[in-house]
């Protein structure tokens, strides 16, 4: 008997092992086959379907402001030496000087050079100025090197106590100049208030009316340094003085640019030399048959007195917001419901709508629908639907998602029991946001646009925020599509 039971258990164990082997093999085969089918289907679908591109929402202008090279025209005069001799310069290059202020001294013999030690603070200032110039240096604008040279020499003279500080903002006349040992020399004084330059370029005396197209050629531009340690003769050019704060900047315009700017009378300018901005009166003039922009300023000249050509940017793109491609924009239909039919749920405090219906016994039911309001627009008082309206209250038309209602639904106003039948449709522009991996409609409000991009408002309800990810080619996607 025991042998019989032992044989039965042995036979049963062998049978279980065979069943497990068979079913184990079948399960593995089935799982592998299903996985292979899924991968094949996914690969075919990926290859045959259009690829969805994403775009990260950024903030910025619609397009970069255009840059120009402007020709500075100002009221300036070149002054000559009154006698022969060696010159000692007193007025600081690029700074204002008052009438009767000492510009230079001239003597029959050369004044011995006096070594003056600068303080560590002044040396630090000079190093800082040289570092700033080096960082902002543009090889194509090599003439700025000479301007910086003159400015640096003037600063060193001031730090050494050879000249007085007659800088910008000085309104008081000052005929005295602090100097070191001068010797027997004749002092030449400025005849009017102005800005001193120890250079000339041949544009002195030119006006807006006498400028020609050739004057804009920077390749032929040449600036002459008037500072010298050699003796000068009476009548030789010694310095230039700019005597009026009013100045003009002329910029060449293409036909397209002229059309774009033709209606402007005032324009804001950003000077790329120092990133300072200021506004000027704008007009379009013609020089030798070509269009030029004329910008007139009444301040700021001292910052650019040593520059004949200035790189500028016209600040014309002032609309700011979020920048998106036009290919991302889609339209979506919404049901529109007057705001007077909105109600607040007593338990949750949510704003929604009370939809009426009938139960199986024919009794009226009321269901609160917490619908998302995507947009609202004011209803003209003469065309507001419904009755019993408070004429002193502003009413709006709410845009709600069509999936939350059915056409023909009746919405009741709990205060006066009036009803509104859902059916009117409105359209909103938007994009598909894919932050969560699937396409969700987000409303947009376009402020400006060109052929490729649109600038949209940052403050749109249920709209976009900076760094959101949206679908770039919206025609290849439907709302609620799972993209990844």
Least confident of 183-192, 235-244, 300-309, 356-365: 183-192
**Which ranges of 160-229 does DSSP label H, i.e. alpha helix?**
none
Taking only the tens place, the pLDDT of each residue in 235-282 is 999 999 999 999 999 999 999 999 989 999 999 999 999 889 999 999
Q: pLDDT digit string (tens) for 384-442?
A: 555 445 555 788 899 999 989 999 999 999 888 899 999 999 999 999 999 988 899 99
How far, in Å, CA of 82 to CA of 102, rounded? 14
pLDDT of residue 349: 81
**DSSP state letters, 343-370:** EE-TTT--EEEEEEEE-TTS-EEEEEE-
Buried b (16+ CB within 10 A) or exposed e, 20-45: eeeeeeeeeeeeeeeeeeeeeeeeee
What's the rounded Cα separation, in Å, for the pair 202 and 208?
15
Q: Look at 6 and 69; give whichever has higher pLDDT.
A: 69
Residues 442 and 460: their CA atoms lie apart, in Å, by 9
Average pLDDT, the chain: 82
Contact criterion met (CB below 8 Å) for 198 and 227 = yes
Residue 121: pLDDT over 90: no
What's the CA gap between 75 and 84, in Å, rounded? 28
Give the separation between CA 228 and CA 288, rounded to whole angstroms. 38
Three-class SS of residue 137? Answer: coil
Most confident among 124-128, 135-139, 264-268 (mean pLDDT): 264-268
Q: Enter the tokens of residue 89.
A: 């310069």
The residue among 395 and 326 whose pLDDT is bigger is 326
- 180 confidence band (pLDDT: 50, 70, 90): very low
pLDDT attached to residue 465: 92
Tokens of 373: 């309001």
Q: Is the pLDDT of residue 175 over 80?
A: no
Least confident residue range of 30-39, 358-367, 391-400: 30-39
* Domains of the chain by residue range: 67-314, 324-476
Q: Which of 55, 149, 12, 27 is nearest to 454 (CA)?
A: 55
Instruction: Quickly state the pLDDT bin for 11 (edges 50, 70, 90).
Output: low
Give CA 267 to chain center in angstroms: 17
Of 42-46, 131-135, 417-421, 464-468, least confident by mean pLDDT is: 42-46
CA gap 466, 453 in Å, rounded: 15
371-389 in b/e form (b: 16+ CB < 10 A) is bebbbeeebeeeebbeeeb
């Amino acid at each position: 008997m025991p042998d019989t039971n032992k044989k039965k258990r042995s036979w049963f164990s062998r049978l279980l092992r065979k069943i497990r082997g068979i079913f184990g093999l079948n399960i593995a085969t089935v799982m592998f086959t299903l996985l292979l089918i899924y991968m094949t289907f996914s690969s075919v679908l990926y290859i045959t379907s259009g690829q969805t591109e994403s775009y990260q929402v950024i903030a910025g202008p619609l397009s970069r402001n255009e840059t120009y090279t402007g020709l500075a025209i100002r009221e300036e005069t070149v002054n000559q030496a009154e006698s022969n001799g060696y010159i000692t310069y007193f007025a600081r290059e690029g700074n204002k000087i008052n009438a009767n202020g000492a510009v230079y001294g001239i003597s029959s013999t050369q004044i011995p050079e006096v070594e003056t030690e600068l303080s560590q603070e002044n040396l630090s200032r000079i190093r800082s100025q040289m570092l700033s110039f080096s960082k902002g240096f543009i090889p194509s604008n090599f003439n700025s090197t000479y301007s910086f040279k003159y400015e640096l020499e003037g600063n060193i003279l001031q730090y050494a106590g050879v000249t007085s500080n007659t800088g910008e903002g000085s309104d008081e006349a000052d005929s005295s100049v602090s100097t070191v040992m001068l010797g027997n020399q004749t002092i030449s004084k400025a005849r009017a208030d102005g800005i001193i330059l120890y250079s000339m370029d041949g544009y002195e005396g030119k006006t807006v009316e006498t400028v020609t197209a050739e004057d804009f050629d920077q390749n032929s531009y040449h600036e002459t340094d008037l500072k010298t340690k050699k003796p000068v003769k009476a009548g030789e050019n010694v310095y230039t003085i700019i005597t009026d704060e009013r100045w003009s900047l002329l910029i060449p315009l293409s036909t397209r640019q002229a059309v774009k700017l033709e209606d402007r009378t005032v324009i804001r300018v950003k000077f790329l030399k120092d990133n300072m901005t200021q506004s000027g009166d704008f007009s379009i003039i013609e020089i030798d048959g070509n269009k030029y922009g004329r910008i007139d300023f009444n301040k700021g000249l001292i910052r650019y007195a040593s520059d004949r050509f200035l790189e500028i940017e016209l600040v014309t793109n002032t609309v700011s917001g979020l920048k998106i491609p036009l290919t991302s924009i889609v339209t979506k239909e919404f049901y529109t419901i007057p705001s007077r039919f909105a109600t607040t749920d007593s338990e949750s405090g949510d704003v929604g709508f009370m939809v009426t219906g009938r139960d199986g016994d024919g009794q009226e039911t009321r269901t609160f629908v917490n619908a998302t309001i995507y947009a609202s627009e004011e209803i003209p008082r003469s065309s507001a639907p419904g009755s019993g309206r408070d004429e002193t209250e502003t009413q709006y038309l709410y845009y709600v998602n069509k999936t939350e209602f059915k056409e023909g639904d009746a919405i009741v106003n709990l205060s006066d029991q009036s009803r509104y039948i859902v059916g009117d449709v409105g359209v909103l522009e938007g994009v598909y946001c894919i932050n969560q991996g699937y396409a969700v409609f987000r409303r947009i409000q376009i402020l400006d646009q060109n052929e490729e991009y649109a600038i949209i408002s940052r403050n749109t309800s249920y709209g976009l925020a900076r760094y959101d990810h949206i679908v770039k080619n919206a025609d290849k996607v439907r709302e609620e599509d799972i993209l990844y």
